[in-house]
Amino acid sequence: MSSISSIRLSGLATGMDTDAMVKSMLTADQEKIDKAQQKEQTVKWQQEIYREVMSDIIDFNDKYFSLTSKDSILSNSAWNTLSITSSNSSVISATGNAGATNVDYKFNVKKLAETAKAQSSIEGLKKESKLVSLGAKEGEKFKFELGKDDTGNTIYSSDITIEADDTIDTLITKINNSVDGKIKASYSEMTGKFTVETKDTGANTEFKIVGEDGSSSKVLDFLDLKTKNSSGNLVKFDENGAKGSNSEIEVSSKDGTFKKTLSQESNTFTIDNIKYTVNSTGSAEITSKQDTSSVVQKMKTFVDDYNKIMDRIYDLVTEKKDSDYPPLTEAQKEEMDEDEIK
């Protein structure tokens, strides 16, 4: 029996175009499909527009209402009309906040605020040096006493245990993980020094090394730690621990009618709404003048950006749908080139 050919010869036997007849019968159903697809495409376009508008609004909010943005209008500096200059910014610099008063002073930085610090003086110290080979005792535990909190309770780090395989490198990791950022341990390959110091500066910062029971401990004596005494000289780190110190800055008016010495716990401080940053010892003059141009320009940019968003939203809300041009169907696209589709 011969095989049946899979090639259709529509209409040759009967004279009827069966393909056209089938297509005609499905016209109503195809129109429903086309309308559903056009509606789906319209919704997709609307969603794309919504996302674009929301993205513009989020960018606007991040630019002007985020405190971390340089263009934020919520920060005090955004409304500062005082332009401040330093004759030597490597010594001291200043920036004004809203409400800052005019300044015209001479500054003589005698001393910077310092951290509480202890540093090794042992020779030949390596990052990979094992602690037990330096004289540490395996299994010995210690912790840091970090002064008192606002309620008068003593602040301690978690316990640190010296293990057989511990090195200077692993000791640094253990110390830094134990004190929640209040103390930092480090090692310098350049100087060969192991250092432990507080994060904060000032006379109220301090730390001691104590045993499990809270009494003074000599557990890190194998590192031959040194710290500064009240005179600023390096001495053996002992039960008195390490203490930070305040800055010493002489301030005077140019006409000589005013003079005082500032003692600050931090090298960054604010007086009369002016933020000062002390960088090194030495002398410098800080002067100021009123300048509203930056504030005016900031507000102009803010209003312009706001109006752009409002204009776009208004245009989209009031835009009328052109029912004569619904989304193209697949059949329509097949009859058009790319430019016509666009």
Q: Are 142 and 220 in the same domain?
A: yes
Q: Are 262 and 232 in the same domain?
A: no
Q: Are 125 and 204 in the same domain?
A: yes
Last residue of a domain, one of 214, 243, 272: 243
User: In this predicted structure, what is the pLDDT of residue 262?
Assistant: 96
Q: Are 297 and 319 in the same domain?
A: yes
Note whether residue 211 is domain-resident.
yes
User: In this predicted structure, what is the pLDDT of residue 55?
Assistant: 92
User: In this predicted structure, what is the pLDDT of residue 11?
Assistant: 54
Last residue of a domain, one of 210, 226, 243: 243
Note whether residue 9 is domain-resident.
no
For 256-315, the pLDDT digits (tens) are: 889 999 999 999 999 988 899 999 999 999 988 777 777 788 889 999 999 999 998 888
- 224-242: average pLDDT: 83
> Whole-angstrom Cα distance, residue 62 to residue 71?
9
User: In this predicted structure, what is the pLDDT of residue 22?
Assistant: 58
Q: Bin 153: left if φ > 0, else alpha if -120 < ψ < 50, else beta.
A: beta
- 230-244: average pLDDT: 82
Q: Are 238 and 121 in the same domain?
A: yes
Last residue of a domain, one of 184, 214, 243: 243
Q: Are 253 and 307 in the same domain?
A: no
Note whether residue 1 is domain-resident.
no
User: In this predicted structure, what is the pLDDT of residue 1?
Assistant: 46
User: Which stretch of 89-93, 120-124, 139-143 has the lowest confidence by average pLDDT?
Assistant: 120-124
Give the range of the structural domain holding residue 132, as residue numbers without chain letter. 115-243
Instruction: Kindly indicate the confidence band of residue 342, based on its pLDDT and cuts at 50, 70 and 90.
Output: low
Average pLDDT, the chain: 84
Note whether residue 26 is domain-resident.
no
More confident residue, 156 or 110: 110
Of 233, 247, 119, 95, which Cα lies nearest the Cα of 186? 119
Instruction: Kindly indicate the confidence band of residue 173, based on its pLDDT and cuts at 50, 70 and 90.
Output: very high
Instruction: Kindly indicate the confidence band of residue 203, based on its pLDDT and cuts at 50, 70 and 90.
Output: very high
Note whether residue 169 is domain-resident.
yes
User: In this predicted structure, what is the pLDDT of residue 116?
Assistant: 94
More confident residue, 130 or 337: 130
Q: Are 208 and 320 in the same domain?
A: no
More confident residue, 19 or 117: 117
H/E stretch holding 212? none
C-alpha dihedral, 298 to 303 to 309 to 315, nearest 10°: -150
Strand, helix or coil for residue 52: helix
Q: Are 95 and 176 in the same domain?
A: no
Q: Are 204 and 306 in the same domain?
A: no
Instruction: Quote the pTM value.
Output: 0.63
Note whether residue 65 is domain-resident.
yes
Note whether residue 177 is domain-resident.
yes
User: In this predicted structure, what is the pLDDT of residue 72?
Assistant: 85
Note whether residue 265 is domain-resident.
yes
Cβ neighbours around 267 below 10 Å, total: 20
| Radius of gyration from C-alpha coordinates of the chain | 38
Contacts of 214 (CB under 8 A, 6+ apart): 145, 154, 156
Q: Are 236 and 121 in the same domain?
A: yes
Give how many domains the chain has, as a whole number: 3
Q: Are 71 and 91 in the same domain?
A: no
Q: Are 52 and 97 in the same domain?
A: no
**In the sheet that 115-120 helps form, which strands lie side by side, from edge to edge?**
183-188, 193-201, 115-120, 225-228, 234-236
For 12-47, the pLDDT digits (tens) are: 555 565 666 556 655 666 667 777 777 777 788 888
